[in-house]
Amino acid sequence: MGKCEQCIVRELSSLKALSKDELIHLAKCKDSFLIKKGDVIFNEGDVMNGVYCIKQGTCKLVKMNSSGKDTILKLITKGDLLGQTSILTEGKATLSAVAVEDMQVCFIPKNEVLGFIGNNKSFSLEVTKDVCQNLNYATDFAINHTHKTVKERLAQALLDVLDSAGTDTEGYLNLQLSRDEIASMVGTATESCIRLLAELKKLGIIDLKAKRIKIIKLNELKSLAQ
Amino acid sequence: MGKCEQCIVRELSSLKALSKDELIHLAKCKDSFLIKKGDVIFNEGDVMNGVYCIKQGTCKLVKMNSSGKDTILKLITKGDLLGQTSILTEGKATLSAVAVEDMQVCFIPKNEVLGFIGNNKSFSLEVTKDVCQNLNYATDFAINHTHKTVKERLAQALLDVLDSAGTDTEGYLNLQLSRDEIASMVGTATESCIRLLAELKKLGIIDLKAKRIKIIKLNELKSLAQ
DNA sequence: TAAAAAAAATGATAATTGTCATAATAATCG
DNA sequence: CGATTATTATGACAATTATCATTTTTTTTA
C-alpha cells in the first residue's frame, strides 16, 4: 500500500489540505487498484461507500437519459476526486463513471472522508469549493448545450479532450474516444458528429488519422467554440 | 429589524442549523429589504459581498450566452439562499438574479456567513449539501437540454413554475412569466414557445387566459416531460 | 488468416426548430 | 382617452440536425 504523503496527485485535489497524521491514516484505510478501459467504476443509482481518487488515466462521467442515450458530462483525470457529492448528500450516485483508458485509482471509505470533513476545516472547505467548481462547470455545460450549435459544441468537446489528456509528440490528442463517445460529449447523433469532424478536417482546423485526432489550428477551434 | 429566530423561512434553508446565539447575531448583522419586480439583485460578474435569503417572492437565475441570449437556469423562491457559491469560491457571481415578482429578501454579509461556516460544523455541512443539490439540479438541467425536445422541455418548465409558485384558487399558476421568459427557461425561440403553448392548449393539457396559465391535465404534462 | 462483428463514413430524406416578416392584441403613458 | 409601444400570435420559409439505409473500413475473434 503506497504512502499517500508522497503521492503525486495529492496536491491536485482537496486532499492537499490533510495533515501529516491524516495522510498516514489515509494510507492505511485507502484501497488502491487498477481499472481496465471500458470498466464501470460505479453506476447511476449505486450506493456510494466512498470516494475515488484518480491517480492515473481518464474516465467519463455519464448519464443516461430516458430514451437510453448517453450524455458524457465530463472527463475526469489525474488528481480529480469522484463521488464526493453522493457521500455528502448521503444519496445514491446520480451519474455513472466509466474508464476510457486503463486507470489507477484509490478508494477512500465514506466514513474516513466524513471524518476528515468533520475534523479538518480546511479540508472541508476545499471539498466544498470543489463541489462549487463542479457546479459552475455544470452550469456552463448546460448553457452551451442550450444555445450553441452542434459544431460549436464539437469544437468545445475537442478542447475539453485536449485539456484533460494533452497531446503526444506528434501533436495528436492523447485520448482516443470513439465517434460515438465524442457525439455523447457533444450531445448529438453519431452521424452528425462524424460529418462535422470531416468538415473541420476539410477546413484544416483538425487532422484525422483513424481514431487519432490532431488539433492543427487551435485558435480557430477556440473561436469556433467561442 | 426582524428577529431571525422567528423567521418563517429559516427552517427551509441551511440557516436552520444555526444556534440561538448565532441567530441573535444574525438578526443584528443582516439587512432586510424589498425588491421590485424586474429589479436586478446581482449581475453576472458582480463581486458578491454576501448571501441573499429569500423571504418572499420569486426571482430567476439567468445567464447570458455569447450571442446575447438569456437562459433562465432556475427559479428561486421562499427559503432559498443565493450567492453561496460565490462566497465559497471567493469568485465573482457567475449568474444574474432578477426578480420576477416583488420580493422580500435579507442580505447576510460575507464575513458573517464564513464565520458561521467556520464555527458551526452542522451549518457548514448543510451549506455543502445545498451546493451538492444545486449541482444535481444543474446536471439534470443539462441532460434535459441535451436530449429532450422543445416540447418536452416546455412541459418541464411549466412543472417547474408550478413547483415554485403553485396555483391560485382557480388553478392558474401563481407566477406570470412572459412568453419570452418561458422560452428562456426552455431554451428555445419565443415563437416556438408560443406555438407549443398553443398546441398544449389545443390538446387540452393546459389552458391559457392571456398571460395566465392553468395546468389542466397534470399527469399528461408530467408524462410529456418524462 | 479468414470470417464475423463493430465502428466509421456517406447519402438521402424527414423532422424539428429557428428566423424573419407581419398582424393582432394588450399594456403603458402622456 | 387616444396614441405609442410592447407583447403575443401566426405564417412562410430556411437551416440545422436526426433518422434510416447502405457501404466501407477497422477491429475482433474463432
> Where is B109: in which H helix or E strand?
strand B103-109
Give Cα separations from A85 to A179, A186, B3, B128 (angstroms): 30, 24, 33, 9
Q: Which of B176, B33, B199 is nearest to B100 (CA)?
A: B176
The grid cell for A72 is 458524457
CA distance, residue B89 to nearest chain A CA (Å):
6
pLDDT attached to residue A1 = 57
Å from B52 (CA) to D23 (C1')? 60
The grid cell for A118 is 468533520
Q: Which positions 80-119 of A are in contact with B (Cβ < 8 Å)?
A: 85, 88-89, 94-95, 117-118
Quick check: A129 and B89 CB within 8 A? yes
CA atoms within 13 A on the CB side of B6: 3
Å from B216 (CA) to C23 (C1')? 30
Interface residue B48 vs chain A (CB under 8 A) = no
At A206, is the secondary structure helix, strand, or coil? strand
Scored b (16 or more CB within 10 A) or e, A163-189 reads ebbeeeeeebbebbbeeebbbbbbbbe
Angle between helix B150-165 and helix B190-202 axes, rounded to 10 deg: 80
Contacts of residue A135 in chain B, CB cutoff 8 Å?
85, 131, 134-135, 138
The grid cell for B203 is 390538446
Give the span between the Cα atoms of B5 and B11, in whole angstroms: 10
CB atoms within 10 A of CB B29: 16
Q: Which of A135, A140, A224, A226 to mutate to test the interface with B (most CBs of B within 10 A)?
A: A135
Angle between helix B179-186 and helix B150-165 axes, rounded to 10 deg: 110
User: Mean pLDDT of residues grouped by 10 in chain B (226 residues)?
Assistant: 83 94 94 93 96 96 86 96 95 95 95 96 96 97 94 97 94 95 96 96 92 94 93
B48 secondary structure, DSSP code: P
CA distance, residue B170 to nearest chain A CA (Å):
33
Give the span between the Cα atoms of B20 and B28, in whole angstroms: 13
Which region holds residue B45: left if phi is over 0, alpha if psi is between -120 and 50, else beta?
A: left
The grid cell for B179 is 412568453
Name the residue type at position B112.
E
At A115, is the secondary structure helix, strand, or coil? helix
The shortest CB-CB distance from A131 to any of B71, B132, B145 is to B132
pLDDT tens per residue across span A105-125: 999 999 999 999 999 999 999
pLDDT tens per residue across span A63-122: 988 777 899 999 999 999 999 999 999 889 999 999 999 999 999 999 999 999 999 999
Q: Across A3-102, where does the E strand assignment appear? A: 31-35, 40-42, 50-56, 59-64, 70-76, 81-82, 96-99
Nearest CA in chain B to A94: B136
From the alpha carbon of B146, which nucleotide's C1' atom is closest?
D17
Q: How would residue A62 be classed by pLDDT, with cut points 50, 70 and 90?
A: very high
pLDDT attached to residue B1 = 57
The shortest CB-CB distance from A147 to any of B69, B117, B142 is to B69
The shortest CB-CB distance from B73 to any of A63, A118, A142 is to A142
CA distance, residue B183 to nearest chain A CA (Å):
11
> Where is B191: in which H helix or E strand?
helix B190-202
The shortest CB-CB distance from B89 to any of A133, A146, A148 is to A133
The grid cell for A45 is 443509482
Give the span between the Cα atoms of A31 and B34, in whole angstroms: 53
At A100, is the secondary structure helix, strand, or coil? coil
pLDDT attached to residue B42 = 96
Give the span between the Cα atoms of A133 and B94, in whole angstroms: 11
Query: Does residue A43 contact residue A66 with C-beta atoms inside 8 Å?
Result: no
Name the residue type at position A35.
I
Angle between helix A179-186 and helix A190-202 axes, rounded to 10 deg: 100
Contacts of residue A88 in chain B, CB cutoff 8 Å?
125, 128-129, 132
Å from A25 (CA) to D29 (C1')? 47
pLDDT tens per residue across span A186-223: 999 999 999 999 999 999 999 998 789 999 999 999 99
Residues 6+ apart with CB under 8 A from B105: B32, B33, B34, B35, B41, B52, B53, B54, B55, B57
A216 secondary structure, DSSP code: S
Distance of CA A67 to the CA centre of its chain: 24
A211 secondary structure, DSSP code: T
Q: Is the pTM above the cut of 0.85?
A: yes
Query: Does residue A20 contact residue A5 with C-beta atoms inside 8 Å?
Result: yes
Residue nearest to nucleotide C25 (CA to C1'): B210
Name the percent of chain A lying above pLDDT 70: 100
Query: Does residue A152 contact residue A110 with C-beta atoms inside 8 Å?
Result: no
Give me the residues near strand D, CB below 7 A. A 149-151, 187-189, 191-192, 210-211; B 178-180, 190-191, 194-195, 197-198, 208, 211
Give the span between the Cα atoms of B127 and A215, in whole angstroms: 41
Nearest CA in chain A to B144: A65
